[in-house]
Structure 1
């Protein structure tokens, strides 16, 4: 398979994967583009392009988040974070889940997306994120607790109304 064939077959799924990870379709397209540029430069040496490009997507996204946080710290600004959702393609529940995921710290969000959207094991996630399996389990536990608390708070508010 050539690089162009790989991109033609996998681009839509890769952008969808990155959009769930990033919570922003435009950012997802940028992240995927950067990852594909890296893949293209190494195409002849990469044995498993799918795994390579997914790893690059996660790393590019985490790098983007770090740069954003540095810029915010330097500027001492805390603008409201919004989630861009493709309303035409997403249900209300999915939009709510994407919003909740966007509130998680980047590594927790990455673990949830990789486990539930990509079906990766703890070991695969650890390898992809460059951390230990114990760290992945901790990120997962904290993410699930935060999501449960968020849902419980919403249910409590709805019960009051």
Structure 2
């Protein structure tokens, strides 16, 4: 028996699914109202709430997260607002990128490694010449939009290694881009 008079091994099992569903029933309405005050339409608001709920569910068995979410009502609302802002930024960037490439104008030359990563990824010969591990990091980072901690967890490497592989791959892509243009690859950049 422990100090509270409960026999060891007979404590109720924590049911994460039931606990999470109860929390969702109580808080989804207020979260949706918060999101709808900020979002441009109801669909975007619901997407932000869904994104946050998925994130919470993946981590619901972690006691620290449950305490933070249950004891701080503003935490979940702040997460919804941040999720909506993040989605809005990525949608705006995608619209701008599509507008720029649809116009047919040549992409400006730049020394920035992170510029026009979509254009670089669209050329298979460039990706084929990368180290397979670097290519995986680039694919996860720029095609799937994953963060460095997520990439590190997925690939079983440290976050600093994921960042280093990303940097090296971008340098290799920039060198390949220059070589591609010098060989007359028809990229529209001169």
TM-score computed with the length of structure 2 as normaliser: 0.37
- More helix per residue: 1
TM-score computed with the length of structure 1 as normaliser: 0.44
